[in-house]
Chain A
Amino acid sequence: MKKIIFLPVLLILLGLIDVGTGSLISDYISGIEPEFDYSAVAKVTVGKTSDKIDILKIGEYMLLTVRGKSSSIYIVKKGETYSVVTDQPVNIGGLLWSYRFSKDVKLISKNYNIVFEGYEMVNKIKSSRMTFNPKYNSGIKRTVWIGVSPKIILKLEDRDRKGNLLRSREILSISLNPPSSKKKVVESLFKKGIKLPAREKLLSLHQANKELDFELVIPGDLPLGYEFIGADIPQEGVGQLVFSDGIGFISIYEIKIPWWARQDMPPEKKEYIEWENKGIHFIVVGDPPTDILLSIANSMKK
């Protein structure tokens, strides 16, 4: 008799847990990219990965052309802040947070256990704190603080399995619908003004191969939880394969080298993995530890 009563209670509890997880994920996704556009003033600090690249000049624009569209990247040194002031309503979440944070609910819930850890104040804004705990070694632990109102991510921390900080990012202050005098800050900081990052859809592998004059090599081995989410052609003659487990990302760049500049080299382990084989220069970069990235590289050598 007790078992008969216990079963529905368990089912209800499981249902609540499920609803809870679903609700947390939806809060997270709307925190990445709020449904409403705001005018805003925000100060953001960026994290550890800025240290990895030293060739680029901090505080300057890097120009890239992505499929015919010119894009500007403003490079910020680790720990430094930059201001974003919009002069017209834009989706500030998309502007302040990642260009390509995954919104794939299935993928996230498949690879992460999500825990609500309570409310905390972040820069005087009441925020709910939630943690994404990875189910596999290749995953990263993400903690986000989402403002109750406005519902936007105010702080984010990514750590590896050992607890080392991978990146942190924080909105130091945000004010919605700022006075128009703030427009000048945009002009002085970004010269050309701010455009909303265009979220270009990734290409299918077939489309990418069709646009490139060589066939992209696919890894035979992927870290647990990671899936191919699309391909891109960031520059002419360069193919990119993008993989994600819902939180972490891996990019594999494949660059075709002209015959007179070829130089075969075995996989080299740095902050990323690079090697060259049969006229293609490969770069594997991403969130999992370099040993895991190396196993991806080794699965592509054949």
Chain B
Amino acid sequence: MSHLSFEELSQFIDKELPNWRMAEIKEHIDNCPACKEKLDTLLLIDQSIRETYKEYNTEKFSAEVLERVESKPVRYSFRLKLATIGVAISLAFGITFGFLRSTYRENLEEEKYKLISQHYIISSGDMGIIFISDK
């Protein structure tokens, strides 16, 4: 009998083969150290998968997932609302602040020129003539 394939060994572990084939494989493994080693490796992999799977009790896991799926939208929605309000306030504040700031700086620029021209007019009489009105 030739060496067993991984597929056959896997079917052997999962008891998916007919009884006569199961007996044959068992006999072969007992006499073939190479196939025995393959089987041990597969059993190790199988065991670790089963242990990992055990940690996740499917029912519990499903319940947990469901709970998260059901509860998260509520939390997410609240946070989203908060975030939206925050963004809106920041945006409104930013726009207002930016607008006020740029308006102020524009006015400052104009005032600056007025002051400079005032200097030239007052100190050198240049650029024009100054009058003080009664108002």
Contacts and interface: CB of A to CB of B under 8 A. Distances in A.
Interface in A250-302: 251, 253, 255, 257-258, 260-261, 263, 272, 274, 281, 283, 285-287
Interface residues of B, number: 33
Interface residues of A, number: 62
A3 interface: no
Contact of A100 (B105, B123, B128): B123
Consensus secondary structure, chain B interface: helix
Given A62-B117, A287-B124, A257 B108 contact: yes
A98 B124 CA distance: 5
A99 B121 contact: yes
B87 interface: no
Contacts of A253: 112, 115, 119
B120 interface: yes
B31 to A, nearest CB: 89
B67 interface: no
A251 B119 contact: yes
Contacts of B105: 261, 263
Contacts of B113: 53, 55-56
B123 A249 contact: yes
Contacts of A272: 116
A74 interface: yes
A169 interface: yes
Contacts of A182: none
Contacts of B115: 234-235, 238, 240, 251, 253, 283, 285
Interface of A: 44, 46-50, 52-53, 55-56, 62, 64, 66, 69-76, 82, 84, 95-101, 158, 167, 169, 190, 192, 194-198, 234-235, 238, 240, 242, 244, 249, 251, 253, 255, 257-258, 260-261, 263, 272, 274, 281, 283, 285-287
Given A56-B117, A95-B129, A99-B130, 19 more contacts: A46-B125, A50-B127, A52-B120, A69-B132, A73-B118, A98-B123, A195-B133, A195-B134, A234-B115, A238-B111, A242-B123, A244-B123, A249-B124, A253-B119, A281-B108, A281-B112, A285-B120, A286-B123, A287-B124
